[in-house]
Structure formats: C-alpha cells, structure tokens
Amino acid sequence: MIQMSDRPEDNSGNSSANTIAIAGLSLALSYENAAVDRLERRLSESILPEVKEKIKHHLEQTKQQQERLKERIKTLGAGMKPTSEKGHLPIPQPPPKLKMIIESGSSDTEKEVWESVNDLIIERAEAIMYKAGIQALDLLKADKKTIKTLEKNLKEEQTFGDWLEKNNPRIAKILMTKQIQNKKQGKKKKKSHLKEEEQKVSATAA
C-alpha cells in the first residue's frame, strides 16, 4: 500500500496556473504589439514637440514591455514562441458616417486633440488589464517573476496615463488656440490679397 508520504507531488495546480499565466501574458503581448504600431504612427503624425517626446519615450518603454512578456512566455512555456498577433486596442469607434464627417472635416490640430484622448483611453485600459492579470495570478499563487513583470509594465502604463490625464486639457488649449490664430492670420492674408487685386483692377481701369 502506498503511504501518503510516498505519493508523488501533485503539480496540477501549478500547471493550471502556468497555463493561465501564459494565456494572460500572450494576451497582454498582443495588445503591446498593436500599441507599438499605434505609437509609431502617433510619433510620425503628432504636431507638438512635447507630445512627440513623450510618445517617443513611451514607445521605447512599450518595446521593453514586449521583451519582458516574451521572456516570461518562453520561460513558462518551455521555449514557446511568443505571439506576433496584434490585439484590438480599445479605441471608441463612432458610427461610420459620423466617423467620415469627423475625419474629413477635422484639421490636423483637431485630429491631434482626438488622438490624445484615445491615447489616454488606451493607457487606462491597459492598466486595467495588467491589474486584473496581477490579481488573477496572485490568487493562483503563480510565478512571482511573472507577477513582477506585469507590475513593472503596469507602472509604466500608469505613469504615461497620469501624464496624459494631467496634460491633455493644457495640450488641447494650446492646439485650439494655435488653430484660431492660424485662421485669423489666414483671413488677414485673404483680405490683404483681395485688396491688392482691387488696387490692380483700379490701376488698369485708370
């Protein structure tokens, strides 16, 4: 008869935690893969130097987040190849017709304001994702290194999100003030041009 002390250790709990951890890490990685694409586009399109600098910094952080997640997936999955798929970032999508009106009728400054709001939404959503992952792995008593990886990624997402939340109103004011000034300058140039044309016509008629 096998005594209790002679029975092999039951690792089913650890195996289950590992499977869940790998799935969660892969999901997080898919979002960070998509985030890199978006941040690279934002970096090329953003029109304020201050914002470009912050996006550039967070882009580098996001690439580091990718590498951390990949390393944990490979470790827990015994060399498993990390996903290259890209998740769908939680950006609000207006109805198609309204979206067309917004995109066709918005200036570059207005688009920048829209995108800065989307930046904040994404960062807060990613922070929620990491918090949920950490809580789940804590309950499962999962690998501590994996939890620390998620905590580091979470901190970076929260820091960028906090900066956006604090500065977005100021940035929007700068952008819209600039747009109003440009419109005024445009009107002045138009009036000046019309006046010059009138003077030419008058001189010709004389």
pLDDT, tens digit, for every residue of 62-115? 999 999 999 999 999 988 999 999 999 999 888 988 888 877 878 888 889 999
Classify residue 72: in a domain, yes or no.
yes
CB of 116 closer than 8 Å to CB of 52: no
Classify residue 60: in a domain, yes or no.
yes
Classify residue 20: in a domain, yes or no.
yes
**Average pLDDT, integer, range 142-155:** 94
Classify residue 33: in a domain, yes or no.
yes
Classify residue 9: in a domain, yes or no.
no
CB of 141 closer than 8 Å to CB of 17: yes
Classify residue 184: in a domain, yes or no.
no
Q: How far is the C-alpha of 116 from the C-alpha of 206, rounded, in Å?
A: 56
pLDDT at 65: 98
Number of helices (H) and strands (E) in the chain: give both, helices first. Answer: 5, 0
Percentage of the chain lying above the pLDDT 70 cut: 82
Write the CATH number for 72. Answer: 1.20.1260.10
Range(s) of the domain holding residue 57: 15-89+97-168
| C-alpha 120: how far from chain center | 7
- 184: which 2 tokens? 């005024």
How many structural domains is the chain composed of?
1
CB of 149 closer than 8 Å to CB of 68: yes
Classify residue 3: in a domain, yes or no.
no
